[in-house]
Protein backbone atom coordinates (compact mmCIF):
# COMPACT_ATOMS: atom_id res chain seq x y z
CA UNK A 1 0.00 0.00 0.00
CA UNK A 2 3.08 2.27 -0.04
CA UNK A 3 4.83 3.81 -3.03
CA UNK A 4 8.48 3.24 -2.08
CA UNK A 5 10.50 4.41 -5.08
CA UNK A 6 9.96 8.06 -4.31
CA UNK A 7 10.90 10.82 -1.84
CA UNK A 8 9.21 11.34 1.52
CA UNK A 9 9.80 13.87 4.26
CA UNK A 10 11.43 11.92 7.09
CA UNK A 11 11.79 14.76 9.59
CA UNK A 12 12.56 18.44 9.95
CA UNK A 13 16.30 19.01 9.95
CA UNK A 14 15.89 20.95 13.20
CA UNK A 15 14.27 17.89 14.82
CA UNK A 16 17.37 15.79 14.13
CA UNK A 17 19.81 18.54 15.12
CA UNK A 18 18.01 19.04 18.43
CA UNK A 19 19.02 15.49 19.44
CA UNK A 20 22.73 16.37 19.48
CA UNK A 21 24.75 13.14 19.41
CA UNK A 22 21.63 10.97 19.44
CA UNK A 23 20.26 9.43 16.23
CA UNK A 24 16.62 9.75 15.24
CA UNK A 25 14.62 6.54 14.90
CA UNK A 26 11.70 6.64 12.50
CA UNK A 27 9.60 4.08 10.66
CA UNK A 28 8.67 5.02 7.09
CA UNK A 29 6.67 2.73 4.81
CA UNK A 30 7.25 -0.09 7.31
CA UNK A 31 11.03 0.43 7.05
CA UNK A 32 12.69 1.06 10.42
CA UNK A 33 15.38 3.70 9.94
CA UNK A 34 17.98 5.47 12.04
CA UNK A 35 18.99 8.99 10.92
CA UNK A 36 22.29 10.60 11.93
CA UNK A 37 24.97 12.96 10.65
CA UNK A 38 28.01 11.31 9.08
CA UNK A 39 31.67 12.41 9.21
CA UNK A 40 31.04 15.07 6.54
CA UNK A 41 28.13 16.56 8.48
CA UNK A 42 25.54 15.33 6.00
CA UNK A 43 22.49 13.36 7.13
CA UNK A 44 22.50 9.61 6.50
CA UNK A 45 19.95 6.88 7.14
CA UNK A 46 20.50 3.19 7.77
CA UNK A 47 18.33 0.29 8.81
CA UNK A 48 17.51 0.55 12.52
CA UNK A 49 18.97 -2.89 13.20
CA UNK A 50 22.37 -3.73 14.64
CA UNK A 51 23.81 -6.72 12.73
CA UNK A 52 25.37 -8.06 15.94
CA UNK A 53 22.32 -8.82 18.11
CA UNK A 54 19.49 -6.94 16.42
CA UNK A 55 19.32 -4.01 18.83
CA UNK A 56 17.80 -0.75 17.48
CA UNK A 57 20.67 1.47 16.40
CA UNK A 58 18.51 4.51 17.14
CA UNK A 59 19.08 3.80 20.85
CA UNK A 60 22.79 4.44 20.45
CA UNK A 61 24.76 7.61 19.78
CA UNK A 62 26.82 9.26 17.07
CA UNK A 63 30.60 9.14 17.53
CA UNK A 64 32.74 11.05 15.01
CA UNK A 65 30.16 10.51 12.28
CA UNK A 66 29.65 6.80 13.00
CA UNK A 67 26.48 5.37 14.52
CA UNK A 68 27.42 3.48 17.67
CA UNK A 69 25.07 0.77 18.92
CA UNK A 70 23.97 1.35 22.49
CA UNK A 71 24.18 -2.37 23.31
CA UNK A 72 27.79 -3.46 22.67
CA UNK A 73 29.40 -0.47 20.97
CA UNK A 74 29.43 -1.70 17.38
CA UNK A 75 29.83 1.25 14.99
CA UNK A 76 28.13 1.63 11.63
CA UNK A 77 29.10 3.81 8.70
CA UNK A 78 26.74 5.86 6.56
CA UNK A 79 26.82 3.12 3.90
CA UNK A 80 25.45 0.48 6.27
CA UNK A 81 28.81 -1.29 6.69
CA UNK A 82 30.20 -2.11 10.11
CA UNK A 83 33.20 0.10 10.89
CA UNK A 84 34.46 -1.31 14.19
CA UNK A 85 33.60 -2.82 17.55
CA UNK A 86 35.73 -2.78 20.71
CA UNK A 87 38.07 -5.81 20.76
CA UNK A 88 36.32 -7.55 17.86
CA UNK A 89 36.93 -8.21 14.17
CA UNK A 90 33.71 -7.14 12.53
CA UNK A 91 34.59 -5.60 9.17
CA UNK A 92 33.43 -8.78 7.46
CA UNK A 93 29.87 -8.29 8.71
CA UNK A 94 27.37 -8.00 5.83
CA UNK A 95 26.08 -4.47 5.35
CA UNK A 96 22.64 -3.48 6.54
CA UNK A 97 20.35 -1.32 4.41
CA UNK A 98 21.36 2.27 3.75
CA UNK A 99 18.78 4.71 2.43
CA UNK A 100 19.28 7.65 0.07
CA UNK A 101 18.82 10.98 1.85
CA UNK A 102 18.54 14.58 0.65
CA UNK A 103 18.45 17.71 2.83
CA UNK A 104 16.21 20.36 1.29
CA UNK A 105 13.77 23.09 2.36
CA UNK A 106 14.65 22.53 6.02
CA UNK A 107 13.60 18.87 5.85
CA UNK A 108 15.34 15.52 5.59
CA UNK A 109 13.94 13.56 2.64
CA UNK A 110 14.39 9.80 2.28
CA UNK A 111 13.92 7.25 -0.52
CA UNK A 112 12.66 4.04 1.16
CA UNK A 113 12.64 1.93 -2.01
CA UNK A 114 15.11 0.37 -4.40
CA UNK A 115 18.48 2.19 -4.04
CA UNK A 116 19.31 1.44 -7.69
CA UNK A 117 16.34 3.55 -8.76
CA UNK A 118 17.10 6.66 -6.72
CA UNK A 119 16.66 9.86 -8.73
CA UNK A 120 17.33 13.16 -6.99
CA UNK A 121 15.73 14.88 -9.99
CA UNK A 122 12.39 13.49 -8.80
CA UNK A 123 12.54 15.67 -5.70
CA UNK A 124 9.51 18.01 -5.63
CA UNK A 125 10.18 21.71 -6.14
CA UNK A 126 8.56 24.35 -3.92
CA UNK A 127 9.30 27.97 -4.76
CA UNK A 128 8.02 29.44 -1.52
CA UNK A 129 10.54 27.73 0.79
CA UNK A 130 13.48 29.65 -0.68
CA UNK A 131 11.77 32.93 -1.57
CA UNK A 132 12.15 35.75 0.99
CA UNK A 133 8.78 37.20 -0.01
CA UNK A 134 7.19 34.15 1.67
CA UNK A 135 7.09 33.13 5.34
CA UNK A 136 6.66 29.56 6.58
CA UNK A 137 5.75 28.00 9.90
CA UNK A 138 4.68 24.44 10.64
CA UNK A 139 4.88 21.37 12.82
CA UNK A 140 4.57 17.60 13.04
CA UNK A 141 1.85 15.22 14.19
CA UNK A 142 2.06 11.45 14.56
CA UNK A 143 -1.34 10.21 13.46
CA UNK A 144 -2.58 6.70 14.19
CA UNK A 145 -4.48 6.31 10.93
CA UNK A 146 -3.94 5.05 7.39
CA UNK A 147 -2.15 7.83 5.49
CA UNK A 148 -4.80 7.65 2.76
CA UNK A 149 -7.44 8.78 5.25
CA UNK A 150 -5.47 12.02 5.65
CA UNK A 151 -5.39 12.40 1.88
CA UNK A 152 -9.18 11.92 1.78
CA UNK A 153 -9.53 14.50 4.56
CA UNK A 154 -7.44 17.16 2.83
CA UNK A 155 -8.96 16.61 -0.60
CA UNK A 156 -12.49 17.11 0.78
CA UNK A 157 -12.70 20.29 2.83
CA UNK A 158 -16.45 20.16 3.40
CA UNK A 159 -15.61 18.68 6.81
CA UNK A 160 -14.42 22.15 7.86
CA UNK A 161 -18.02 23.21 8.46
CA UNK A 162 -18.35 20.58 11.18
CA UNK A 163 -14.88 19.65 12.50
CA UNK A 164 -13.55 23.24 12.44
CA UNK A 165 -16.74 25.19 13.08
CA UNK A 166 -15.00 27.72 15.35
CA UNK A 167 -12.01 28.55 13.13
CA UNK A 168 -12.22 28.01 9.36
CA UNK A 169 -15.58 26.30 8.92
CA UNK A 170 -18.73 27.96 7.58
CA UNK A 171 -21.98 26.77 5.93
CA UNK A 172 -21.04 28.29 2.56
CA UNK A 173 -18.43 25.53 2.10
CA UNK A 174 -21.24 22.97 1.90
CA UNK A 175 -23.27 25.18 -0.39
CA UNK A 176 -20.54 26.02 -2.93
CA UNK A 177 -20.00 23.39 -5.66
CA UNK A 178 -16.54 21.95 -6.17
CA UNK A 179 -14.83 20.82 -9.36
CA UNK A 180 -12.21 18.09 -9.65
CA UNK A 181 -9.75 17.72 -12.50
CA UNK A 182 -6.90 15.30 -13.17
CA UNK A 183 -3.88 16.47 -15.14
CA UNK A 184 -1.26 13.77 -15.48
CA UNK A 185 -0.30 12.75 -11.95
CA UNK A 186 -1.92 15.73 -10.24
CA UNK A 187 -5.44 16.00 -8.86
CA UNK A 188 -6.89 19.49 -8.38
CA UNK A 189 -10.10 20.16 -6.45
CA UNK A 190 -11.41 23.73 -6.43
CA UNK A 191 -14.12 25.54 -4.51
CA UNK A 192 -14.87 29.27 -4.80
CA UNK A 193 -17.28 31.18 -2.56
CA UNK A 194 -18.34 34.76 -3.30
CA UNK A 195 -19.74 37.59 -1.19
CA UNK A 196 -19.52 35.85 2.18
CA UNK A 197 -18.37 36.68 5.70
CA UNK A 198 -14.89 35.41 6.50
CA UNK A 199 -14.65 32.81 9.32
CA UNK A 200 -12.62 33.60 12.47
CA UNK A 201 -9.21 32.40 11.25
CA UNK A 202 -9.43 34.43 8.07
CA UNK A 203 -10.76 37.47 9.90
CA UNK A 204 -7.55 37.34 11.93
CA UNK A 205 -5.50 37.07 8.73
CA UNK A 206 -7.37 39.98 7.17
CA UNK A 207 -6.67 42.19 10.19
CA UNK A 208 -2.99 41.20 10.03
CA UNK A 209 -2.88 42.34 6.40
CA UNK A 210 -4.63 45.64 7.10
CA UNK A 211 -8.05 44.61 5.78
CA UNK A 212 -11.42 45.14 7.44
CA UNK A 213 -12.23 41.72 8.99
CA UNK A 214 -15.96 42.41 8.76
CA UNK A 215 -15.92 43.15 5.04
CA UNK A 216 -17.54 40.74 2.60
CA UNK A 217 -15.04 38.49 0.86
CA UNK A 218 -14.59 36.02 -1.93
CA UNK A 219 -12.98 32.83 -0.58
CA UNK A 220 -11.20 29.98 -2.36
CA UNK A 221 -9.87 26.51 -1.62
CA UNK A 222 -7.71 24.84 -4.29
CA UNK A 223 -6.39 21.44 -3.21
CA UNK A 224 -3.52 19.95 -5.25
CA UNK A 225 -2.47 16.32 -4.74
CA UNK A 226 0.75 14.92 -6.18
CA UNK A 227 2.16 11.46 -5.51
CA UNK A 228 3.26 9.87 -3.37
CA UNK A 229 1.22 11.82 -0.81
CA UNK A 230 1.92 15.56 -0.95
CA UNK A 231 -0.95 18.04 -0.86
CA UNK A 232 -0.63 21.80 -1.32
CA UNK A 233 -3.79 23.83 -0.72
CA UNK A 234 -4.17 27.39 -1.98
CA UNK A 235 -6.44 29.10 0.53
CA UNK A 236 -7.44 32.67 1.16
CA UNK A 237 -9.94 35.49 1.04
CA UNK A 238 -10.09 38.69 -1.00
CA UNK A 239 -12.33 41.68 -0.62
CA UNK A 240 -15.50 40.89 -2.55
CA UNK A 241 -15.41 41.88 -6.19
CA UNK A 242 -11.63 42.40 -6.31
CA UNK A 243 -10.86 39.27 -8.32
CA UNK A 244 -10.87 36.46 -5.75
CA UNK A 245 -7.80 34.25 -6.13
CA UNK A 246 -6.39 36.66 -8.74
CA UNK A 247 -6.91 39.79 -6.62
CA UNK A 248 -3.99 42.14 -6.04
CA UNK A 249 -1.98 41.42 -2.84
CA UNK A 250 -3.29 44.53 -1.07
CA UNK A 251 -6.86 43.24 -1.38
CA UNK A 252 -6.39 39.71 -0.02
CA UNK A 253 -4.96 37.38 2.62
CA UNK A 254 -3.51 34.37 0.83
CA UNK A 255 -1.58 31.28 1.92
CA UNK A 256 -0.57 27.80 0.86
CA UNK A 257 -1.30 25.01 3.32
CA UNK A 258 1.63 22.59 3.11
CA UNK A 259 0.89 18.92 3.79
CA UNK A 260 3.62 16.28 3.64
CA UNK A 261 2.04 12.93 4.55
CA UNK A 262 4.59 10.19 5.21
CA UNK A 263 3.28 6.64 5.78
CA UNK A 264 4.63 4.85 8.85
CA UNK A 265 2.63 1.60 8.95
CA UNK A 266 -0.69 0.45 7.49
CA UNK A 267 -2.49 2.31 10.28
CA UNK A 268 -0.22 5.24 11.12
CA UNK A 269 1.61 8.12 9.46
CA UNK A 270 3.77 11.19 10.06
CA UNK A 271 2.06 14.44 9.17
CA UNK A 272 4.33 17.43 8.51
CA UNK A 273 2.03 20.42 8.25
CA UNK A 274 2.59 24.10 7.75
CA UNK A 275 1.49 27.30 6.07
CA UNK A 276 3.39 29.50 3.63
CA UNK A 277 2.11 33.05 3.21
CA UNK A 278 2.94 36.10 1.14
CA UNK A 279 1.55 38.85 3.37
CA UNK A 280 3.85 40.34 6.04
CA UNK A 281 6.48 37.61 5.58
CA UNK A 282 8.92 39.19 8.06
CA UNK A 283 6.42 39.35 10.93
CA UNK A 284 7.67 36.53 13.19
CA UNK A 285 4.91 37.14 15.73
CA UNK A 286 2.27 36.68 13.04
CA UNK A 287 3.98 33.48 11.85
CA UNK A 288 3.84 32.10 15.40
CA UNK A 289 0.19 33.13 15.78
CA UNK A 290 -0.82 31.46 12.51
CA UNK A 291 1.18 28.35 13.37
CA UNK A 292 -0.59 28.06 16.74
CA UNK A 293 -4.00 28.49 15.11
CA UNK A 294 -3.24 26.04 12.34
CA UNK A 295 -1.84 23.51 14.81
CA UNK A 296 -5.10 23.61 16.76
CA UNK A 297 -7.11 23.11 13.59
CA UNK A 298 -5.04 20.10 12.52
CA UNK A 299 -5.26 18.63 16.00
CA UNK A 300 -9.04 18.46 15.50
CA UNK A 301 -8.43 16.55 12.25
CA UNK A 302 -6.09 14.15 14.03
CA UNK A 303 -8.69 13.26 16.66
CA UNK A 304 -11.30 12.56 13.99
CA UNK A 305 -8.96 10.48 11.79
CA UNK A 306 -7.75 8.31 14.66
CA UNK A 307 -11.30 7.51 15.75
CA UNK A 308 -12.21 6.87 12.11
CA UNK A 309 -9.30 4.40 11.85
CA UNK A 310 -10.38 2.66 15.04
CA UNK A 311 -13.85 2.10 13.57
CA UNK A 312 -12.46 0.86 10.26
CA UNK A 313 -10.07 -1.52 12.04
CA UNK A 314 -12.93 -2.90 14.11
CA UNK A 315 -15.17 -3.43 11.07
CA UNK A 316 -12.71 -3.99 8.19
CA UNK A 317 -15.28 -5.61 5.90
CA UNK A 318 -17.75 -2.73 5.92
CA UNK A 319 -17.80 -0.84 2.65
CA UNK A 320 -17.53 2.92 2.93
CA UNK A 321 -19.94 4.99 0.85
CA UNK A 322 -18.89 7.60 -1.69
CA UNK A 323 -20.42 10.99 -2.50
CA UNK A 324 -19.55 13.63 -5.09
CA UNK A 325 -17.60 15.53 -2.41
CA UNK A 326 -15.20 12.55 -2.27
CA UNK A 327 -14.06 13.01 -5.87
CA UNK A 328 -10.69 14.54 -4.92
CA UNK A 329 -9.80 11.69 -2.59
CA UNK A 330 -11.07 9.06 -5.02
CA UNK A 331 -8.97 10.41 -7.88
CA UNK A 332 -5.92 10.72 -5.62
CA UNK A 333 -6.25 7.09 -4.55
CA UNK A 334 -6.49 6.04 -8.19
CA UNK A 335 -3.16 7.69 -8.90
CA UNK A 336 -1.62 5.96 -5.87
CA UNK A 337 -2.95 2.61 -7.11
CA UNK A 338 -1.52 3.28 -10.56
CA UNK A 339 1.91 4.02 -9.13
CA UNK A 340 1.75 0.93 -6.93
CA UNK A 341 0.84 -1.23 -9.93
CA UNK A 342 3.78 0.13 -11.93
CA UNK A 343 6.18 -0.32 -9.04
CA UNK A 344 5.10 -3.89 -8.40
CA UNK A 345 5.03 -5.05 -12.03
CA UNK A 346 7.90 -7.51 -12.65
CA UNK A 347 10.40 -6.44 -15.26
CA UNK A 348 10.46 -8.94 -18.12
CA UNK A 349 13.84 -9.44 -19.77
CA UNK A 350 14.51 -11.28 -22.99
| Range of the structural domain that residue 105 is part of | 8-122
Same domain assignment for residues 117 and 232: no
- The band of 92, judged by pLDDT with boundaries at 50, 70 and 90, is confident
Asked if the model's pLDDT at residue 102 lies above 70, the reply is yes
Query: Quick check: is 2 in a domain?
Result: no
Does one domain contain both 153 and 283?
yes
- Positive or negative: CA dihedral 273, 276, 279, 280: positive
3-state class percentages of the chain: helix first, strand second, coil last, to nearest 5: 30, 35, 35
Residue 130 lies in a domain: no
Other CB atoms closer than 10 Å to residue 322's CB: what's the count? 10
Q: Which of 62, 91, 122 is the last residue of a domain?
A: 122
The total of structural domains in the chain comes to 2
pLDDT tens per residue, range 300-349: 888 999 999 999 999 999 998 887 778 999 999 999 999 999 998 876 55
Q: Is residue 1 part of a domain?
A: no
Q: What is the CATH number of the domain that holds 26?
A: 2.102.10.10
CATH of the domain at 231: 3.90.380.10
Structural domain includes residue 152:
yes
- Pairing of the two strands 135-143 and 107-111: unpaired
| Residue 227 is assigned to a structural domain of this protein | yes
What would the pLDDT profile of 37-57 be if each residue is shown by its tens digit? Answer: 999 999 999 999 999 989 999
| Domain final residue pick, 91, 122, 153 | 122
Amino acid sequence: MFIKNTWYVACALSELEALGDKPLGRTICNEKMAFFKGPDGRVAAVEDFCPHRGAPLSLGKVCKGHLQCGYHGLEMGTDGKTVQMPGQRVRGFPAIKAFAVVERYGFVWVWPGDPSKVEESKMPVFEFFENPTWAYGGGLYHVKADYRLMIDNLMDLTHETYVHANSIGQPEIDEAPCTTTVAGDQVVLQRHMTGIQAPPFWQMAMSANGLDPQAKVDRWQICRFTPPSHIMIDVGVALAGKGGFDAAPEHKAYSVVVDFITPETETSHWYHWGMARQFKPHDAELTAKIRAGQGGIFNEDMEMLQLQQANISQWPDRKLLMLNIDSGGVQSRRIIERFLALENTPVVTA
